[in-house]
Structure 1
Amino acid sequence: MGNFLAGKVVAVTGAGRGIGRAVALACAAEGAKVVVNDYGVAIDGAAPSSEVAEAVVKEIEAAGGVATAVADDVSTMAGGQRIVDTALAQYGRIDGVVCVAGILRERMLFNMSEEEWDPVVGTHLKGTFTVFRAAAAVMRRQGTGTLVGFTSGNHQGSVAQANYASAKGGIISLVRSAALGLHKYGVTANAVAPVARTRMSANVPMELKEIGEPEDVAAFVVYLLSERARDITGQVYTVAGPKIAVWAQPRELRSAYSEGGWTPEKVAEVVPGTVGSDPMPLLAQLSAMAEAARDGARPNR
């Protein structure tokens, strides 16, 4: 066992499988006491079960670590609060939360129902908020703590996952807001966009050239939770196997001004030649995806 997180208490949501499980195991291996949360649902959010969270706790304990299970639904305020309350009751503090929990319900935007929108946004975005909110209140008093949200490259947009992409984009904004609001209290907030082999990535309709294992992502998360990363906040990182990358902060590209105010005619004159637009990289992949679908293959990305 290592000591990157010695003495720390960390809660991980979605920790029963995939990346969440790898993060929980890695945190425990580096000395943290871990609250393992998983509602135990299928990939679409159905059939909850507490067994997966309890199984990870047993793995951690078998390896000599300390952990406790919380099989709550993070999309509820009570569920998010219970995760933090459990950490306080069992271990007396909360030093880090890692929000990995998520589900998928794919559908084209024009066919997507409320029942397909709400649970996905609720689990990913609200589920990050509920845990962040509960943890931030404690971390503010402690004067230290780390919030880690999980986003995706799909925050750029997605053909058939408007719900998922919207939630992942929202998580980035939530992380940046948390970083700004909690900085003076010694609390950091960052987001990770993983590319790893999980039950979710198995549904990606293209062959990913840059992809790794959940353990690659877990190693990076351990770093973010450690004292070595105390000065890092408000960032979005991709971890894809051997690659670690940081995303740019939002910023204006070009601007134009009109002294006498805007009319549609003035806008039409200025925007094409002066302001322009910023190309959308994923649009260039759509034709390749369509061609691959006709051929029964999966395009590279």
Structure 2
Amino acid sequence: MRAIVQHRYGGPDELALAEVAAPEPAADEVLIRVMAVAVSMGDVLLMRGEPRAVRLAYGLRRPKRPIIGRDVAGEVVAVGHAVTRFAVGDAVFAESDQGGFAEFVAVPERFVAARPTSVDAIHAAAVVVSGTTAMQGLRLAGVGAGQHVLVNGASGGVGGFAVQLAKGRGAEVTGVSRGAKAEHVRALGADHVIDYSTEDFTANLGRYDVVFDLVADRPLGRVRRSLTPRGTLVLSSGRGGTVLGPMRRMAAASVISPFVSQRLRPLAAARSGDDLAELARRIDAGEVRPVVDRVFPLEKAAEAVAMLESGEVRGKVVIAV
């Protein structure tokens, strides 16, 4: 099969089109012909081997798995003998840890769900990691009707879904983004938009019941001051300045949380076929809308990744396979 591979950590120039062996599904796996794969910041970090601590699991000097890409949508072409919920020909989407920048990928059945019927594979792929991360973050915070939720990083993949899902739960939503993306964030349903280049959301003392921080661009103490006395901060960011910045920030939040009235919750999003099924239901009900900024062919995967890294994206970048 055709796939995009990398043999060294680095930038998009390390990605190259190659012919590799197609996977065979294990007993509990579904083999998917990939029609589309979205690009996420998690893919970028694995490509670069950052933060460096991830190399302990993914390869110290070079990637153990040469193919990146987690958000896939396509069609079932084979199933393992223990698979019971899917059959050849089913339209599905899934989160893969074996590399979705390829024509085929094998995924355990429990991480696969039927695709939304109201959108194509391109838009279904845009949902996977970003949608489940947003859903799990809001669930962790216990977001409900009447709360004021701030999403820091509202114009990105996760942030866009967080805005929509929080509105669906009856919350008042403030989105933080670059000013040029304000209309995009409002179109997703945000009640208020803060341009981070001209206003600091942490100056709004005691205003927010929940802050969903996807950027980690403000000191933890200042973010806490923007929360109500019993507010909740959900931390989900692979960035934060230094190599161990995000880990230190999340560790600090975990240590502080038991001693303060506010809840400080690091988010470790997990693969979930059940969450994908719930997102599919919400999309088909018209409650959630996946937003795709641009689509690239597989052979231009490096350009797709570079576009995501540029920070100019509204919604998701997707690769058509």
Is TM-score (shorter-chain normalized) higher than 0.5? no
TM-score band w.r.t. shorter chain: 0.3 to 0.5
- TM-score (structure 1 length as normaliser): 0.38
Rg bigger for which structure? 1
Q: Decide which structure has greater helix share.
A: 1
Q: Decide which structure has greater strand share.
A: 2
Using CA pairs below 8 Å that are at least 6 residues apart, which structure has the higher relative contact order?
2
